[in-house]
Chain A
Amino acid sequence: MKQTRAIVITGNGTNCEMEAAHACRLGGFDEAVIAHIAEILSGEIRLDDFHFLNLTGGFLDGDDLGSAKAQANRLKNAQVTGGNEKLVDQFTRFIDDGKLILGVCNGFQLMVKMGMLPGLDGKYLNQTVTLTHNDCGRFQDRWTYLKVDPASPSIFTKGINKGIYLPVRHGEGKFLCDSGATLDRLEAGHLPVLRYSDAGYAQSTMEFPANPNGSTNAIAALCDPTGRLMGLMPHPEAFVHYTQHPRWTRENLPEEGDGLTLYKNAAEYARVNLV
């Protein structure tokens, strides 16, 4: 296997599969496959054949039981046809194999509700944090400045200088921990990769609308201690070209958008470490 391969899972209300696959290709993956969950459950497509798993934005099951709850339950309990394993076993093996997972928005919600993030002590099926209703009580589509933690182990944000500018589009993005102890461990490990901040990326902020949801410590993104699993509420795949920027008609912007960095880093990591 010499090709770097990304997979984007869709189905049951996932929405951003097309642009996520596009971002993977632009970022340098040799192949980006959009796989419907039905094709994975039927055994036609196996996660083992890929290096980078994208859990993208959307409204899995309509957010009906709280965002991503029903899908977390489905992934944990659903059986893959023609084998003796559950889907969750493929996920666990994917993580054990040292591969990459990026959860965006609804995908981030899914990762925390399955317990894949923060993945403390190597426990990837243990929920300790959550994402819930925005303090403003409403869905918000607006662009946010995200200050990066340069000491974060995330492999996705390597090389980002101060921060990145990306849109959020969610109703349930408020990050909460089950305890102060968990939060302390996250902070000590530099796992909160990105925080909502001012336009100069100087200070993180709790002020609406710069912080659109009221997240604890302004946390917008989280990675596991290995840095190979990351989730974020803002949409990196929505800013890979300057025409996606809300002010591109008035600012001189480089060709590539801020979000593309995450996919380029993933592709580079996969090429060096996984093929």
Chain B
Amino acid sequence: MANRIEAALRDGVRDARGERIKREIEHFLHLPVERVATIDVYTVDADLTGSELKQAAAGPFSDPVIQVWSIDRPLAGGFDFAVEVGFRAGVTDNVGRTAREAVAYLTGRPFTAGDGVYYSVQYLLKGSLSVADVEKIATGLLCNTLIQRYSILSAADFVAKGGFPAIAPKVSGETKAEVREIDLEVSDEELMRISKDGVLALTLDEMKIIQGHYRDPEVLADRQKFGLGAKPTDVELECLAQTWSEHCKHKIFSGTVQYEDEKGNKQEIKSLFKSFIQRTTKDVRERMGEKDFCLSVFKDNAGVIKFNEQHSLVFKVETHNSPSALDPYGGALTGIVGVNRDPFGTGIGSKLIFNTDVFCFADPFYTKPLPSRLLHPRRIFEGVVEGVEHGGNKSGIPTVNGSLVFDDRFAGKPLVFCGTAGLMPAVVNGQPSHEKSIKPGDLIVMTGGRIGKDGIHGATFSSEELNENSPVTAVQIGDPITQKRMFDFLIRARDKGLYRFITDNGAGGLSSSIGEMAGECGGCRMDLAKAPLKYPGLNPWEILISEAQERMSLAVPPEQIEEFLAMAVRFGVEATVLGEFTDNGVFHMLYGEQTVALLPMEFMHEGLPPMQLPAKWTPPHNDEPVLEQKENYNDDLKKLLAALNICSKESVVRRYDHEVQGGSVVKPFTGVANDGPSDAAVVRPLLDSFEGVVTAHGICPRFSDIDTYHMTANAVDEALRNYVAVGGSLDLVAGLDNFCWCDPVLSDKTPDGAYKMAQLVRSNQALYDVCMDYNLPLISGKDSMKNDFYDGTTKISIPPTLLFSVIGKIEDARKAVTMDVKRPGDIVYLLGRTADELGGSEYLALSGAIGNKVPHVDTVKAYQRYQAYHKAVNKRIVASCHDLSDGGLAVAAAESAFAGGFGMDLDHSRVLWKGDAAGKSDCTLLFSESASRHLVTVHPEKQDEFEAVMNGNCFASIGVVTEGQNLSITGLNGDVVVKADLSELKEAWQLTLREL
């Protein structure tokens, strides 16, 4: 019999959580509520004495200063409806886990298997609400029914029933350990049914390749030796499905593309990845020669570059889009703690030094109808922001850089990019830290969390398969504390040399991590029955592919295992030996004595022929809007500053700890009132050194509506110009590409696949071209290729999106430059030329237009200018620098001015122009988003020096910083076209998302 311990706030103590829920009910659901109060509920399902229950209630479960507690007696009163929300059976319950641990400390007894503590929250609603209203509040706000359960009681029912019953959401199940054989000697239709019903996502061709494998007499003879028949086991089929999935295998990027451009020129491209991405790095590195700073690229979980002689930098950016669409909080939380494991599992392991986040959402104020399966963008926004907040803050990793990008097509799927950088000693125990190996005989060890049915088959499940007793199979909830404990242990084990190889358990779970590790030495033998489980009832195939979180896989030499395991116990981390690595060429899975999978390594990793992908580029022709020339652009400027893609994101950014670890040099916000938007982040990872790491990013999906070539060129340029603005060095900077595409494979569901594939080809072409000119090696990346929503009637495809991130170095962080103007009298320079390039701009988007004149990047000139500017930074003659991007010159000038608290007088006639003079107008000068431009201010006494350093590059003095509190811009004909009070501009910029 379970007991309920409740903890409620004392009278007079403010219920901040309740107040926030009240605000959200009014804001999102437009329902009137007088008051919301909350109560914490711990359902204890364990053999405790009455006095132990009291100790738990009075001790760890309540705060005597502000709370009262009760056991098996409801505390609620003064409400009209009570809603209680807890997790479904099997869903990660972090509070419940901590509560259980706390009770074990109290009693001095460990919990027995099956016992537990489960957390839920009771919401007490007061107001004139109907049952239907409360149902709406429960499902629309308080509870995500995919992972949580709720019950509702009216005040009268609550009294009649004596409150909510004590129910422990335990997973019911028995150890089945069932292994099925699947008959593949069937018709093609039946093969596809097997793939579809089993959520294997294998094509007919792939199913036939597997079918062929099991017809090979040699294969059959080998199988016979281990007691296996001619049919594949479910373990084998599931393992192949994971290994060959788009997610793990990147079939589109490694496929063969038949590309045809707009002139009919045809080209066969064997692997976009090899032809463009890998080639970029190879060619840039060759050209750098001795100056090459890349240490490990594309082969590990993250890229590794040199930071200095003693330390190496590690960086990876991932996406977690589909899970975030289903459960925004859990999906995003898992996204950030998941990407943390990549640098941690790179080389021999690195210490994590910062996170970056970029989110793409639909308008949070979206009012049009949405397909029923989609969550409202506002709810996705809230959940994702909070999930990443918890994941990043709790892990003690500063979130130093990020963006929020809005486009209503992201209603189909939000994009959640999470990045993490790490730092490791260049040499650990006498070995280069970015290298690692496995020797046959090394033990397979798994550390961290236990395995449950989390994340089985990723995002393809449907909610109908769930019920109260079946654990959620696709959604995972991260647990940053379990992971942090594991990292605390492993980094110490690393320094003691207790393991030889480490990698992350992510997509595909053990099948993928051990599968890849086995590739290092040529085989493995693993007993799935040894894996620690969260609850009984998992079949061997589920154990193998579960994506349960917070796990690392390691190769530990047998002579170190004793010390490794003993240390794990001391640090409270679970570590289990699952088997050993071999060199017999076979991926050999056992369950106890029984062989449940026997797959030749070569077949697993090399058995799949490349996909064949048609691609045909037909440039789109958008309506070309006629620009209305105005006398005054004050209102347009304010509208732009308030636009979602430009406005201040401070309400979100302040929720992320960007200073933990103590190395923050350029923070997300800067300026006289700490609220101007920085272009990039500078961090000192070594507190006794002034060497800084600089990171920045570029992302501009709007340009994809015109040409993904230029979308990509602009994204790369934006990342580098942000990086350069704060003082990043061009001698040590590397790039990471994250492609998020809509499905580009031509099929019945995607009739425009050839166009979308061509968009992908063009994007890759630009990536190569621009990175070559910018000397930017690509060190890591990721692609996510199926970002569409389709419910049979409505299809929403995201705009093709490249997030380009850069990481590099500033030799002396004390020379970093921020974007706020510093003092009146400083000269304002615009570096770079402006052109008639409003295509895809925020300005045209105000009126719903796209246009065609997308900005073109002049990489050669830009690179020279960036180098000259960096010299100026090194000479400490730059007072401020801000990059020009969304909203063009007008927005950049407004931001720099109000951040610095001084006005600015600018003159359009002094701005350098590029191209056809016919397009030159006040409107284009103000709002064109031409690439590679910076707005710089310089003290007058440094003017000569600055101009000498910049000599030979396109730059012009266009105005001056003023004592007054106005942004004033003189138009081409001498009239003032913008004159606006800084406080008004700032208010417009800050208002939009202030309350979110």
Which A positions have Cβ atoms within 8 angstroms of B?
10-16, 18-19, 22-23, 36, 38-39, 41-42, 57-59, 61-66, 69-70, 72-74, 77-78, 113, 127-130, 132-143, 167, 169, 174, 176-178, 214, 235, 237-238, 240, 243-244, 246-247, 249-250
Contact = CB atoms under 8 A, between A and B. Distances in A.
Given A141-B657, A238-B659, A250-B672, A73 B667 contact: no
Nearest to B492: A36
A65 B662 contact: no
B481 A19 contact: no
Nearest to B18: A137
Contact of A70 (B98, B660, B880): B98
A19 B98 contact: no
7 contacts: A13-B484, A64-B95, A130-B63, A130-B65, A176-B65, A249-B666, A249-B822
Nearest to B880: A249
A36 B571 contact: yes
Interface stretch (B163-171, B810-818, B942-950, B973-981): B810-818
Contacts of B365: none
Among B59, B64, B659, max chain A CB count under 10 A is at B659
B674 interface: yes
Given A15-B396, A69-B60, A77-B105, A139 B657 contact: yes
Contacts of B900: 250
Interface in B966-990: none
Nearest to A74: B105
Nearest to B662: A19
Contacts of A58: 396
Among A61, A72, A141, A143, max chain B CB count under 10 A is at A141
Given A132-B66, A137-B16, A243-B665, A70 B820 contact: no
A109 to B, nearest CB: 10
Contacts of B193: none
B909 interface: no
B846 interface: no
Contacts of A74: 102, 105
Among A65, A143, A247, max chain B CB count under 10 A is at A65
Contacts of A19: 660-663, 687
B488 A178 contact: no
B654 interface: yes
A139 B571 contact: no
B355 to A, nearest CB: 13
Among B59, B60, B394, max chain A CB count under 10 A is at B60
Contact of B655 (A78, A127, A139, A247): A139
Contact of B65 (A23, A36, A140, A177): A177
Given A62-B94, A64-B98, 11 more contacts: A13-B396, A19-B661, A59-B393, A59-B394, A59-B480, A70-B102, A72-B60, A113-B63, A135-B14, A243-B665, A246-B667
Contacts of B479: 62
Interface string B877-896: 00010000000000000000
Nearest to B23: A137
B570 interface: yes
Contacts of B395: 15
A18 B65 contact: no
A16 B687 CA distance: 13
A30 to B, nearest CB: 16
B19 A137 contact: yes
Contact of B674 (A22, A57, A65, A143): A143
Contacts of B106: 73, 77
B394 A62 contact: yes
A10 B818 CA distance: 34
A176 B19 contact: no
A107 B628 CA distance: 60
A65 B65 contact: no
B684 A243 contact: yes
Nearest to B104: A77
A130 B66 CA distance: 8
B481 A62 contact: yes
Contacts of B666: 249
Contacts, number: 190
Contacts of A138: 20, 654-655
Given A59-B481, A249-B816, A73 B671 contact: no
B16 A65 contact: no
Where chain A touches its partner, the secondary structure class is mixed
Contacts of A41: 570
A57 B660 CA distance: 9
Contact of A64 (B16, B99, B690): B99
Contacts of A132: 13, 16, 63, 66
Contacts of A134: 16
B123 interface: no
A61 B99 CA distance: 10
B747 to A, nearest CB: 44
Interface string B376-394: 0000000000000100011
Among A136, A244, A250, max chain B CB count under 10 A is at A250
B669 interface: yes
B662 A18 contact: yes
A142 B660 contact: no
B17 interface: yes
B572 interface: yes
Interface in B277-313: none
A141 B485 contact: no
B649 to A, nearest CB: 13
A134 B396 CA distance: 20
Given A15-B396, A18-B661, A246-B670, A142 B19 contact: no
A18 B816 CA distance: 23
Contact of B571 (A38, A140, A178, A246): A38
B664 interface: yes
Contacts of B669: 246
B688 interface: yes
A178 B481 contact: no
A133 B655 CA distance: 14
Interface string B546-570: 0000000000000000000000001
Contact of B654 (A18, A65, A135, A142): A142
A65 B7 CA distance: 11
Given A10-B488, A62-B98, A139-B393, A249 B674 contact: no
Nearest to A129: B65
B657 A169 contact: yes
Contacts of A57: 660
Given A42-B570, A140-B655, A249-B817, A178 B684 contact: no
Nearest to B817: A249
B655 A141 contact: yes
B658 interface: yes
Contacts of A247: 670-672, 674
Contacts of A177: 65
A135 B669 CA distance: 23
Contacts of B814: 243
A38 B672 CA distance: 44
Contact of A140 (B485, B654, B664): B654
B81 interface: no
Contacts of A14: 396
B98 A141 contact: no
Contact of A167 (B659, B816, B820): B659
B22 to A, nearest CB: 10
B480 A62 contact: yes
Given A62-B394, A135-B14, A249-B818, A70 B101 contact: yes
B47 to A, nearest CB: 18
A139 B201 CA distance: 41
Nearest to B93: A64
Nearest to B813: A243
A249 to B, nearest CB: 4
Contacts of B484: 12-13
Contacts of A214: 14
A167 B656 CA distance: 13
A66 B98 contact: no
